[in-house]
Every structure is written in C-alpha cells, then in structure tokens.
Amino acid sequence: MLSIFLVTFPFFALMLCGYVATRRAMLPLSAIPGLNSFVLYFALPCMLYRFGASTPISLLLDASLVAVYALGALIMVALSVLLTRRRRADGSRLDWSDAGFGALVAAFPNTGYMGVPLLVALLGAAAAGPAIVTIVIDLVLTSSLCIALSRLDSAQAHGAAIAGRRALKGVLMNPLPWAIGLGALSSATDLVLPKPILQTLGLLADASSPVALFTIGAVLARSRLSSTQRTPLANYLPLVLLKLLLHPLLIGLLGLAAIALGMPLAPFTLTVMVLVAALPSASNVAILAESFGADNGRIAAIILLSTVLAFFSFSAAVAWLHPGG
C-alpha cells in the first residue's frame, strides 16, 4: 500500500498546489482559463496522440471494452437520475438541469487530466489504450446524454434535441477525440512523424500531466470561491459515493459478467476500466454546468469531495486490484 501512495501522492499534491495557489490569490483567477486552454488544446492532445500512436490498433478498437464501459455509463446515469429526481419530503423534485449534470458528474471520471498519466505511472504504458477509449465514450455518449437530459425542463418544443445537437457540436470542437483518432490512425498505418515534430509533441506531452493536475486544483478552488452559498452535504454526498464506490464496482461486475459470457475482455483491460471508474469526477463538468445554468456550487462540491476522498479510495482500489504494484 505504501508503494501505491508513493505513486499517487505527487498527483494529488500537484492538485493541492493549484488549489492553495488559487485560494491564496498567488494564481490570479484570470490566469486559469489560459492554463485550461494550454492543457486542452496543446499539451493533453499531444499526450493522447503519443499514447494512441504507440498503442496497437486492436486495443483501441476493443468492442468488449466499449460495450462494458458504455453500458456501465448508461446505468450510472440512470441510477443518478433516479436518486436525484425522487420526491423530497416536501413533495418537490430536483429539476432536470441539476439532475442531468448530477448524473454527468457521477458517471464521468477525470480520465483525461488525471487518469491517463496516473494509470500509466501505476500500470505501465499498456494502460493508456483502454483509458483513452473510455475518454471517447464519456465525451461522446455520457456527456451528450446528460446534457440532453438537463434540457428536458426547457419550455422550448424540442429542448432535448437541441441540447443533443449542442452536445454533439461540443464533441466535434473538442480536440481530445481528434487527437485520439489521429493517434489511432498513426498506429494503424505505422506512420512515423519527422523527428523535430515528434520532439515538439514530446515536450508538450510531458508538460500535460503537471500542468493539468495543477489546473484541476485551480479550477476547484475557483468554483468554491465563486459559489455564493453553501451546499448541504446531503445534497451531494450520495453522488460522491456513487462515483467512488458504485461506479468501479459496477464496471467490475459487468466486466466479469462479460468474461463469463465468453466476450474477449482481457483481465488487464478490465483492471484499467475499474480504476478509471474509481477516479474522482471530471473537473470540466463544473464549467459545463455553469455554462448551462445548473447549480454549479453543488457540482463543484461533488468534484472537490470526490477528489479529496479519491486519494484514499483510489489507492485502496489499486491495492486490491494490483497488489503487486
């Protein structure tokens, strides 16, 4: 267990550095969008391209992985909506906007900014392939579905359909799926880029992990600073527990069922999928919730608490699934 903490500690420590720097005004709030842009449009795409290009195409097109992880995402969304849309004691219900983004924050792990480098550090470069496939599923399926659900309260006639198209447009404008796709194409065609370009990509890719982790902490601190009111613990703790405990358990059970049914899902791939599901909630959901008018304070609280608790729960999951790590 100590060896696992030695690997995971620097990742969480970098997030803490970003959080403290922002809370103490050492990092101006106006600088955070710039950090986000650097990670999203430059560093992280280069890292994902490099991993995609070095991963055999057969691992990137694993139908068993896609089926199990996608089914798990759909179940998580359904459970989260049922949990948050149930009638309260006063007869009221959470609106669809908050229910939709609550489902997204419960089903969408922080795989891009945190999971890929952390899993590679723990399990080796082979973990990158399954992890980046889950990113595509969450960007395309999970995000689009939850954003569409969040628009069901809209008075406009086809609010959900419009939201679905808006979510799809967001996916197409996101550089991460394109970087993964180009990496997969390079892997399939054995394309080798010229050395100066590879070195440039390598420098940006190497910068992605520390800057992304620092930025996560900064984004979480900004969300807390901008929140106008405290969110009661009872309003977000159940979704945190769903994310950190039920999500990895669900993926593990679905994976074992798939293997029992004869699907060619490798045990190592299943381990990576379970650990992806054990990651804390994706920090970019807070930005999405804010842009769609949902309760950003509640979403930020879920992300923050899941990130804090994941230092222990994720490490425990690694110790259980990968005791030799």
In a 3-state reduction of DSSP, which class is residue 66?
helix
Inter-helix orientation angle 159-173/143-150, to 10°: 150
Q: What is the pLDDT along the chain (325 residues), one digit of tens a residue?
A: 677 788 889 989 999 999 999 999 999 999 998 998 898 899 989 998 998 888 888 878 899 999 999 999 999 999 999 988 776 555 567 788 888 889 999 999 999 889 999 999 999 989 999 999 999 899 888 988 888 888 776 645 455 566 666 666 666 777 888 888 899 899 889 888 999 999 999 999 999 889 988 988 898 888 778 766 666 777 788 999 999 999 999 999 999 999 999 999 999 999 999 999 999 998 878 777 766 777 777 888 898 899 999 999 999 999 888 755 5
Query: CA–CA separation, 206 vs 103, rounded Å?
Result: 32
Q: Is the Cβ–Cβ distance between 146 and 104 less than 8 Å?
A: yes
How many structural domains are present in the chain?
1
pLDDT of residue 155: 45
pLDDT of residue 246: 96
- Percentages helix, strand, coil for the chain (3-state, rounded to 5) are 80, 0, 20
Of 121, 117, 82, 125, the C-alpha closest to 102 is: 82
Contacts of 49 (CB under 8 A, 6+ apart): 179, 180, 182, 183, 186, 201, 205
Query: CA–CA separation, 241 vs 296, rounded Å?
Result: 19
> Which amino acid is present at 8?
T
pLDDT of residue 14: 92
State the residue range of the domain holding 198.
2-321
Query: The domain that contains 36 carries what CATH number?
Result: 1.20.1530.20
In a 3-state reduction of DSSP, which class is residue 160?
helix
Q: Is the Cβ–Cβ distance between 298 and 235 less than 8 Å?
A: yes
